[in-house]
Every structure is written in structure tokens, then in C-alpha cells.
Chain A
Amino acid sequence: MKTYKLIANSDGSVNTIIRIEDNACIPFDPANTDYQAYLKWVSEGNTPEPADE
């Protein structure tokens, strides 16, 4: 099962997630198929790990 972690920019905003199993960085782009898979994963009731402080 894939798990994800949010990544914060230096200004605190979040527009990237990491797929923990392979350290892939996934941008918030609706056309990105990995991001589509992430959204599906979230819609199934899953929650990503929060970004580091």
C-alpha cells in the first residue's frame, strides 16, 4: 500500500508530496497520473503524513 507525506516549501505552503515507498516527489498537477492516484488514495479515506515543521 502506498503512503504519502506532505512537503512544505520554505514559505510553509504545500504543493508537493512524497510517495514514501520510493521517495518520489509528486507535484500538485491534475494532469500528473501519480497525483491522480494520490487523490484517489485520499478519497478512499487515507491521510498523508503531515509536513515537517
Chain B
Amino acid sequence: MAGTLIVSNLKTDTDNTFIVRSNTGTTLFSANTTGIDVANSIGATAITSDKILSIANTKISGNIISSQITSVANTQITGNIVSSQITSIGGSQITANTIANSAIQTGAVENYMNAAGLGFGMRNRIINGAMVIDQRNAGASVTPADGAYTLDRWFVYQFVASKFSVQQNAGSITPPVGFSKYLGVTSLSAYTVLSGGANTVAQSIEGFNTSDLQWGTANAKTVTLSFQVYSSLTGTFGGSVQNSAANRSYPFTYTISSANTWTSISVTIAGDTSGTWIGSTNGKGMTIFFGLGVGSTFSGTAGSWAGAQYYSATGATSVVGTNGATFYITGVQLEKGSTATSFDYRPYGTELVLCQRYYETSRGTASTFTQSTTIAYPVFVVDTTRTSGRQFSVAKRSAPTVTIYSRNNTSGKVSTVSSGADNAGTASTSGISETGWSATVIGTATTAGVGIEVAYVADSEL
């Protein structure tokens, strides 16, 4: 420790304790035969091979190595923690550390995270943020219509169609470290967006998954949006967070400085204390838009809430303005709190089930129903007109729209089991609920006893 230790006002040692106080009388350091207490200190450079009872109100910038610390409170630790044991941590901040070969009392970190309202598992409110699920297109490129879904849970919002295509892993570049998939947008022309136009890729989040944020109240929670982005363009890009009524918006910007380079972005958004936000329902809690070229009418000042319908920030780069421009994104995470934590990886099966709450098909991983690749068919035994029902693999957000297909991918048709050909009968559904549906087959070929196969798509997207 630099400086000078001046000893004055010596007292008789009665309890084997050595105490250092500041000139105002505050205890900075004390030690006895059982351990050491550090308090109210700044810049403790390192703790090595020490046994410390407590550290409080202290900033530790050095490493903590091979030490035992019973209690840490209201302390900022910026060094590494290696081969140490910390029994409890409360009200403290640990940043930019390596914690290696160290023991932290079970529950201590969880208690801290919960006390801070951060939570642990399932932090990410975005579904399919790693872009791994693509039930509709199975990796194929599509030029989506307005409102159409691309990769699972990701839809496009646009005023003029055919200005960009979307494909999982478009361009086949190397995804960012830790990811295998990304959503790739490619501009199909050099289109000048009208002032009243917008091109976006977006995800809506169900109210059940956002209500705890308490937006629209004085207790609105801060959230952080983070993602990895890659573009052939550089500059300031934009997006927006919007309520279901499209009358509250928070435009945001982010910068891509290097073309064709994955860039990590983090945007912290103070919760909206005004406006109407869907509560704990199966309605649209909020929508996250990524602007690909948005006109001035629908662009607003970045970094603040507005009672307006904005899809991006004023002055943001237009991807659709450059023919062949690319915009790739993955690792999208929206979480409570003002810090972007590491991406919340979920098992593939879990992510698929989360997606299937909104979209499910009996064709498995193929993008179309075919004789050879379709995996699952409910088989119905015809009773002249009415057939049996089927339960969805995953309960839906709401009673879904159901489209019946034959094995030849003909919508509204069914297949004859014996031949695999489209049956002359037609099919419609009835009794659609969140958990299942039944099909009705009508037509001259619906003779009792004829086996009929029915494939389906069930859609209850927001």
C-alpha cells in the first residue's frame, strides 16, 4: 500500500485486535486472530492467500486469489476471483471477472440476482432469438408478403412487397461465435422508401411474457435488447419497440462500423410509464422491429418514448435502398434489467416447443407436404362425412387457423391412404380449439371405410 502509516493515540490492546481508522473515526481495517475486516476502502489492489471475515463498502480492483472471504457487502469487485471461497455476496457488483476454481455459497448468486429482479433461466423474452427454428421454409429463401412469417416467430412488416428476401443463413457466411444460424435479409432492388413506407423484420411477444415488466405503470421495468448483426452496409441503423395499439413507440439506433463483420449490439430501454400495454393475456404484449428502410412518417427520435407509430429511428440506414445489400441478425435477446447478459441458450427441443405454441405442422422439418418426406399424418377412418379429431402437439396461444393439406401439398384436400393420391373429397375443420381440432371430409369419394390421410398446419401467431 502506498502512503504513510502514522501511528498516534495508542491504546492498550485488550482483545488482540488491530484496527485502522480514518481521521474521521471510520474503521477501515481490523484484524484479530480469527480474521480480517475491510471496510470503506477504495482501490484495494489485491487479496492473495488471505482469510477475511468481511469486506464492506469497498472497491477491489485487484484479483482475489486463494483467499477465504466470509461476507462481501456493498462492494465492487473488478478483478478476477481465482481459487477462493466467498460465503456470501450481497448488494455488490462483480464485473469483468474471471471466477475460476472458486466456491460461492449455494444460493448466494441466485439470491442476489433475484433481489435485483434479474432472474436466471428463460431470461430471454424473444423466442427463436438464435434463429434455429424454421418450420415454414426449412432454410429456403422466401420473398415474404406483408405480415408473413419467415423463420419461426419472425415476421415482416412492409408497405410494398418484394423489396427484400429472407432466408435462414442467407449467403452462407460464418455465424458469430456461439451461434449456428442467423436470419438473413437481402435487398432485391435499390428502392427509395416513401415517407409513409416501412420495411421491417419483427417479433411480437405475448402479453403473458411481458406483463411482469409493468409497462404503462409507474413501476415500468428497464429492459435490454441485445443482438449480433452483420451487414454489407455501415452506418447508423434503427429499430423500435412498440405496443399492440401502435401508439407508443421507442425508436432506437445502433451503429455498424465495419461492413461484413459481426457486431454485438446492446440497447437499454427504460420501461414506458405511459400508454396502454397488454397485461397478462394471450394478446400482443409488445413488438420489436428492426428497420430495413423506414420512411420519415414512421421514424422518430431515438432514445425516448413517443405517443406515435414508429418503426425505426430518424435517419437510420435503409437496407432496401441498396440493391443486393445484406442484413443478417442472430442472438436476439430482450431481458429485464439494464445489462445485456450472455445469450440465453435453450435446448433445441425447448425452443421448438416454444415456437409451436404459435405455429405447428404435421410435415415435420420439410417445407412442403410430399409423398416421401412428410413425417406425420393423422389417419382418419371415414364415417361418410365426419372424421375423428386430432390433438395438437403443443397447446396453442389461441384457437388457431387450421389448413388441411393432402400428401401432394394441395390445401383443402385429403389423400386416399391406399394410393396416396388426392381424394376427390374436400375437407374442412371444425371444433378448433387451443388444444385440438376435428376434420370434416365431404365428397363422392368419402365412402365409409375408405382410409383418408390428412396433413395440417395450425397457425396462432400474434
Contacts and interface: CB of A to CB of B under 8 A. Distances in A.
A23 B401 contact: no
A11 B270 CA distance: 53
A30 to B, nearest CB: 8
B399 to A, nearest CB: 4
A23 B282 contact: no
A18 B428 contact: yes
A35 to B, nearest CB: 8
B428 A7 contact: yes
Contacts of B399: 27, 29, 31-32
B430 interface: yes
A32 B400 contact: yes
Nearest to A13: B430
A19 B402 CA distance: 10
B37 interface: no
A25 B432 contact: yes
A16 B241 CA distance: 34
Contact of A31 (B397, B428, B430): B397
Contacts of B53: none
B459 A34 contact: yes
A26 B385 CA distance: 20
Contact of A23 (B386, B403, B431): B403
Residue among A9, A10, A25, A31 with the most chain B CB within 10 A?
A25
A10 B386 contact: yes
A43 interface: no
B173 to A, nearest CB: 34
Which bracket fits the contact residues of A?
A: 10 to 19
A25 B428 contact: yes
A53 interface: no
Contacts of A23: 403-404, 411-412, 428
Nearest to B456: A25
A24 B398 contact: no
B386 A24 contact: no
B429 A22 contact: no
Interface string B388-409: 0000000001111111100000
B272 interface: no
B462 interface: yes
B402 A25 contact: yes
A32 B461 CA distance: 8
Contacts of B397: 31
Closest 4 CB pairs of A and B: A23-B412, A31-B398, A29-B399, A27-B432
Interface of B: 282-283, 385-386, 397-404, 411-412, 428-433, 440, 459-462
Given A10-B385, A31-B282, A31-B460, 8 more contacts: A10-B440, A16-B428, A16-B429, A23-B404, A23-B428, A24-B411, A29-B398, A33-B462
23 contacts: A7-B430, A9-B430, A9-B431, A10-B385, A16-B430, A22-B403, A22-B411, A23-B404, A23-B428, A24-B401, A25-B401, A25-B402, A25-B430, A27-B399, A27-B400, A27-B401, A27-B433, A29-B398, A29-B432, A31-B398, A32-B398, A32-B399, A34-B459
